[in-house]
Amino acid sequence: MGNYDSITTCRICRSGELFGFLDLGDLPAVNDFQDSPTDVAQTYPLETVFCKDCNHVQLRNTVARATLFENYTYFSSASDPMVDHFGDYADTITDRFLTADDLVVEIGSNDGILLGQLPDKVRAVGVEPAHNVAKVAEREHDLDVITEMFDSDVASRVETKYGRAAAVLANNVVGHVDDLRDFAVGVDTLLADDGVFVLEVPYLVDLLNDGTFDTMYHEHISYFCIRPMATLLDQRGLEIFDVERQPVHGGSIRVYAQRRGGPHDRTGYVDDLTTLERHMGLADVETYDRFANQIEQYRERLTGLLEALARQGTVAGYGASAKGNVLLNYCGLDSETIDYIVDTTPAKQNTYAPGTAIPVEPPSKFQEHPPDYALLLAWNYTDAILAKETEFREAGGRFVIPQPKLDVV
């Protein structure tokens, strides 16, 4: 068992009223791919708790961020749909908020997938702790990247060197942060008086509606909805003025915030979503209990289906995703059932998936030795992948789509 810490109070409001509702057991870090099939990945308990006071959903246990992120295997640009998504995102914030020479700081800039698509008229700076990933951003997009984990101290040093930012961005990052209150101090330090803080996070409403428990893993400490997010931002005098639902990563929200009383009018959509959350019972313990019960039933259905298919033919995984590694480990599926996994990410190829030791191969394996069934572990790109793999399906190959609705197509 690897090292980890445990909270006794909520990371946002410090309440001690934490209700544990989902325990996925001891799981490996989902991006801890191994060099040999006999190497054993460290495991850590994965339990999710609900704060009865501010309603924040979060992990009880914290795996050290440095353990998870300093040498990282997730490169956003390995997925074409994400390149398109962040290209549109860059256009949106440029049109809405940016003028020439504005400073844009992205926290968790990964391989420069967004900053590299901003117009040259703005000054872009990334903060990215994964040295191997940051190097790609520097090389491919000629970006300034501070290779450290963002916190209030890093924020001060960025502000001193570059000034205050017209836009601070944080995409698929805020959910990864252990010390949320210090993170908010850092944003407050960096943000210009009339600046905007724009962040994208997987949306708890979609997670609960679709049962996508496999997006719960040690990298993701927090699972946000609007109310606790607003509470966190309010602690630093920031307010949400707009929200957009986004289809990526199983359903996300893009949250737009500013200093209280800032120049941007609050749109009605913020209230629409807070009303939706209230009607869904996101403030009620029972909602989370019901969710946990659904997951147990799902595990039996998926495991039964895949073991049956493996008796009929060969099964391979498609996309060595983080959520895929949760699914495989939680369902006890390994190389007895799944022959191999293909992935477009060079850093993942020729390794072994954590906890299952299933070999990860380049996409050529799928073309040269197609399986009878492909378990779509990157199910958040179902449309793009089904469109790409028409030959496989025309030759009789079938995809098993595990989420959000178990299906064989």
The contact set with ligand DWN (CB under 6 A) reads 74, 78-81, 172, 219, 249, 319-323, 343-345, 348, 378, 380-381, 384-385
| Shortest Å distance, C-beta 74 to ligand DWN | 4
Rounded to whole angstroms, what are the CA distances from 181 to 12, 172, 186? 7, 17, 9
> Of the two residues 81 and 404, which places its CB atom closer to ligand DWN in the complex?
81
The C-alpha angle 280, 284, 289, rounded to 5 degrees, equals: 95
C-alpha 38: how far from chain center: 28
Nearest-angstrom CA–CA distance, 72 and 343 = 15
Nearer to ligand DWN, 45 or 175 (CB): 175
Cβ at position 201, least distance to ligand DWN in Å:
9
CB of 162 to ligand DWN, least distance (A): 26
252 neighbors 246 (Cβ within 8 angstroms)? yes
Distance in Å, CB of 124 to ligand DWN, minimum = 20
Shortest Å, Cβ 48 to ligand DWN: 16
Closest CA to 62 of 179, 170, 147, 152: 179
Is the omega angle on the peptide bond into residue 404 within 30 degrees of 0, that is, cis?
Answer: yes
Q: Which long-range contacts (CB under 8 A, 24 or more apart) does 74-77 make?
A: 74/31, 74/110, 74/133, 74/322, 74/345, 75/110, 75/111, 75/133, 75/136, 75/345, 75/347, 76/110, 76/111, 76/113, 77/110, 77/111, 77/112, 77/113, 77/136
Nearer to ligand DWN, 21 or 75 (CB): 75
**CB nearer to ligand DWN: pick between 224 and 381:** 381
CB of 264 to ligand DWN, least distance (A): 26
CA distance 195 to 193: 6
Looking at beta carbons only, is 110 or 189 nearer to ligand DWN? 110
Q: How far is the CB of 174 from ligand DWN (least distance, A)?
A: 10
Of the pair 246, 337, the CB lying nearest ligand DWN is at: 246
Sign for the CA dihedral angle at 389, 394, 398, 403 comes to: positive
Task: Give CA angle at 377 (376, 379), nearest 5°.
Answer: 70
**Complex with ligand DWN: residue 72 or 241, whichever CB lies closer:** 72
CB of 110 to ligand DWN, least distance (A): 9
Provide the Cα torsion 64, 68, 70, 71; round to 10°.
150
Q: Output 198 or 270, the one with its CB closest to ligand DWN.
A: 198
* Closest residue to ligand DWN using C-beta atoms: 319
For residue 198, what is the enclosing H or E element?
Answer: strand 191-202
Structure tokens at 147: 């290779």
